[in-house]
Structures are given as C-alpha cells and as structure tokens.
C-alpha cells in the first residue's frame, strides 16, 4: 500500500490562487481545488475572474474575486497589491489553514506579502507555491522578474514542481535553498475518456481519413508552424485531416501558412473549445512539437482519450509521452521525423491500437485519484512543519 493510501484525511481550509484563463496552470489549480472540495476540504479560490473550469456551483467551494479600484495615476493597475489584500481578507475571515499558489508570478510574491501582513497581526498561514513552467523557463528567469521570483520561491513554506525536468530547470536557473517536491500533473479520467462520436468523425473526415489534432494557446513556444509542417508532410503521402484547437498570438500566421501551402481544405481551425474530450475522441494522433514544455497537460488529456502522441522531446514531455510506447518523440523542429512517425502509426493499424492502449495505461498513472492525495499529504506536512516553528 502506498503512503498516500495510508494517509488519514483531516479536513483543511485551503486557499487556491491561480490564473482563471485558459492555460494548464489554471486548469490544474481548478481541478485540484474541485477534487479537494469533493473529499470534504473547504476550498477558497482567489483570482481576478472566476476560473473557467469552475462554471457551476460546487459544495465546499467559495470564489473570492480580486477587484481593483482604478485611479488615473495608475497606468498599470497594481494587481499584486490587490491580490495580497484579498488574500489577507480571505485568510483572516475564513481561517484558512494554507495558501496554495499556482504559477509563481506574481502569485508567490503576493502570498509572501500577505503572509507578512498577517504575521504582524498574529496570524500565521503557510504558503505553498507550485511552479508550472513558463514562470521558470521563459518569464521567471528574465531579469525583469528573476530577483522577485527567486526570493519568493526560497521564502515559500513549500514548493512543488509539476515534473522532474521543471525541478531541474528551477535549480539550474535560480539560486534555490529550499526543497522542491515533484508532484506531477493529473487527469480526471471521468472527464477525459474516449467516447463514441462516429457521426462527428464522419463530418470531419467523410472518407475515413485519419484525424490529427493539436490543442494549445497558440503561443510561440508551442511551434504551431511545426504542427502544420508535420501535417503537410503526412498529407503528401496519405489523405488526412488536421484539427487545430485553441487560439492565441500565432493563429493568424498559422492560417496564412495553410493558405500558402494550399492545404486549407484538410485543416480546420476550431478556436477555443470547451468539450475537448469529444474532439480528442475522434482523433487518431495528437501533435505537440513545443519548444519548451514543463509537462504537457494537453498530451496527457489526449492519452486519457486513447490518442497516441507525436511530440518534441522538450522539458518534461518525455516524463509523460513514452517514446515508441505511447507515441514518439523527436528533436524540437525535426518535422520530417515527426511526420515519419505519424505516417508509421497511421499506416499500421495493429501498432496504432497497441499505442492507443499504452497511452491510456500511461494516463492512468496520472489519475487524479492517485495524485490528489499527494497534495493533501504535502499540505499536512507543511502545516505541521510551520506549526512546529511558531
């Protein structure tokens, strides 16, 4: 039996700070909070907007909106100050046991400030920071933010990273003098599972063509142009369709690339979608050629729906997508290799079926029910450690 299985649950009051918009860190924070609430914890979300995965009323969950009064002097509204003030309020009037911030910038430093203010009033609340990726690898290490990020990581009571790779990047880029615990991202297998959507599949691929899919926020780091270039090479050999799901800064360029290549008839830009599990259910391959990726939650969602993944080998992706097992990995930018792997899987039914099953088996290792207790246990450890210090 695992340590987590032995863990005796004690109800906690947990404050969760996250970005409410589309994006992996907000999804992980919201799904974690919902799962914690379902097992009896009292969860308080603190953000500037209702997190998009928190659409309906849920027992044990309260949402605290960070509102900020604008003033003509403020060219940039001081969000961090407003967040720290809201945290002080939420902790004080709800007796929170712990604050868990997702994405270091600016959440970890706002929580540190709130902690200091509360401490001056005789209230002690521990802070756990979860590092998600770009808060370290892209934005965090930039000189604009580095000193504050470094300080607030070292001054969090607990720090977790979503992959071994991200932990290593954090140790490489910053001067860290605190323990970092790796707690991987997870998937709710009740939501992400293959469902029968034959009519939908026929509508997209009327002649039974295989369907490739990419889901992201279309930021540069996702290399959407590599998705299209990989697809171009696949479709030059076999008929196929590509679904591009999501929206972001690179979308216009991607649309132009499809026009220039004359392959628009085989590609559908679907924009932001809610029911991605349904789209994944009709797909045969997921493409994730990212430049950098701490984990690759989108790949895990695909795998939970039985979709093998062709990805780059950047960052933490190899911890999720196992080469020649749940999919294939190639060097960043090597679209010829990615296309060759895609062709291999799409033209070998038996291999494709084996990879589908392997992908699902791998996703089960990241089942929410297995990972959530790791957070509960970690919270308890940090609360106990901090109590001992008071």
Residues that bind ligand GMT (CB under 6 A): 23-26, 28, 103, 132-134, 137, 162, 185, 217, 219, 221, 292-297
Residue 295 vs 328, nearer CB to ligand GMT:
295
Helix (H, G, I), strand (E, B) or coil at 328: strand
CA distance 84 to 97: 16
Contact 25, 102 (CB under 8 A): yes
Min CB(29)–ligand GMT separation in Å: 9
Min CB(25)–ligand GMT separation in Å: 3
Min CB(246)–ligand GMT separation in Å: 10
Residue 30 vs 155, nearer CB to ligand GMT:
30
Residue 28 vs 282, nearer CB to ligand GMT:
28
For residue 5, report the phi and psi dihedrals to the nearest 5 degrees: -65, -30
Residue 133 vs 373, nearer CB to ligand GMT:
133
C-alpha dihedral over 187, 369, 54, 110, to 10 degrees? -90
Min CB(118)–ligand GMT separation in Å: 27
DSSP of 264-321, one letter per residue? GGGEEEEES-S-HHHHHHT-SEEEE--S--SS-HHHHHHHHTT--EEEE--TTGGGTS
Residue 311 vs 358, nearer CB to ligand GMT:
311
**Token digits for 321?**
């997508």
Contact 327, 309 (CB under 8 A): yes
Residue 235 vs 310, nearer CB to ligand GMT:
310
Min CB(281)–ligand GMT separation in Å: 21
Min CB(264)–ligand GMT separation in Å: 26
**Token digits for 22?**
């589309």
Contact 214, 323 (CB under 8 A): no
Residue 13 vs 272, nearer CB to ligand GMT:
272
- Triad 318, 320, 323: Cα angle to 5°: 50
Min CB(258)–ligand GMT separation in Å: 22
The tokens 């709800």 sit on which residue? 94
CA distance 220 to 79: 26
Residue 285 vs 288, nearer CB to ligand GMT:
288
Task: Name the nearest CA neighbour of 163 among 14, 364, 314.
Answer: 314
Q: Is the peptide bond before 106 cis (omega within 30 degrees of 0)?
A: yes
Min CB(199)–ligand GMT separation in Å: 31
Query: What DSSP designation does 221 have?
Result: G
Residue 15 vs 133, nearer CB to ligand GMT:
133
Min CB(24)–ligand GMT separation in Å: 3
| Residue 350 CB neighbour total at 10 angstroms | 7
Task: Name the nearest CA neighbour of 380 among 117, 158, 62.
Answer: 158
Task: Name the nearest CA neighbour of 127 among 88, 98, 153.
Answer: 98
């Amino acid at each position: 039996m695992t340590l987590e299985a032995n863990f005796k649950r004690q109800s906690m009051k947990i404050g969760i700070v996250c970005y409410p918009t589309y994006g992996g860190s907000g999804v992980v924070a919201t799904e974690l909070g919902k799962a914690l609430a379902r097992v009896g914890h009292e969860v308080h979300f603190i953000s500037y907007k209702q997190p998009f995965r928190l659409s309906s009323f849920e027992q044990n969950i309260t949402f605290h909106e960070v509102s900020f009064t604008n003033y003509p002097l403020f060219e940039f509204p001081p969000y961090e100050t407003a967040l720290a003030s809201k945290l002080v309020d939420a902790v004080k009037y709800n007796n929170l046991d712990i604050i868990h911030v997702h994405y270091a910038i600016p959440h970890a430093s706002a929580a540190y400030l709130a902690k200091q203010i509360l401490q001056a009033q005789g209230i002690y609340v521990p802070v756990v920071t979860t590092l998600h990726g770009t808060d370290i690898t892209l934005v965090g290490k930039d000189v604009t933010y580095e000193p504050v990020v470094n300080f607030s990581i070292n001054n969090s009571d607990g720090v977790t990273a979503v992959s071994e790779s991200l932990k290593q990047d954090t140790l490489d880029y910053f001067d860290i003098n605190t323990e970092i615990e790796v707690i991987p991202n997870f998937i709710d297998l009740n939501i992400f599972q293959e469902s029968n959507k034959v009519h939908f599949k026929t509508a997209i691929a009327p002649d039974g063509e295989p369907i490739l899919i990419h889901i992201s926020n279309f930021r540069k780091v996702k290399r959407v142009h590599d998705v299209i270039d990989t697809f171009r090479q696949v479709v030059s050999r076999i008929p196929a369709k590509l679904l591009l799901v999501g929206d972001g800064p690179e979308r216009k360029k991607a649309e132009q690339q499809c026009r220039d290549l004359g392959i628009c008839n085989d590609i559908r830009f679907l924009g932001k979608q809610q029911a991605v599990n349904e789209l994944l259910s009709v797909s045969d391959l997921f493409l994730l050629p990212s430049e950098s990726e701490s984990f690759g939650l989108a790949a895990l969602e695909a795998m939970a729906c039985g979709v093998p993944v062709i990805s780059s080998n950047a960052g933490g992706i190899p911890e999720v997508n196992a080469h020649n097992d749940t999919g294939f990995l190639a060097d960043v930018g090597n679209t010829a290799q990615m296309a060759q792997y895609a062709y291999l899987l799409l033209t070998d039914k038996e291999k494709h079926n084996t990879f589908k099953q392997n992908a699902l088996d791998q996703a089960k290792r990241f089942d929410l029910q297995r990972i959530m207790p790791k957070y509960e246990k970690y919270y308890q450890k940090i609360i106990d450690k901090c109590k001992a210090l008071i």
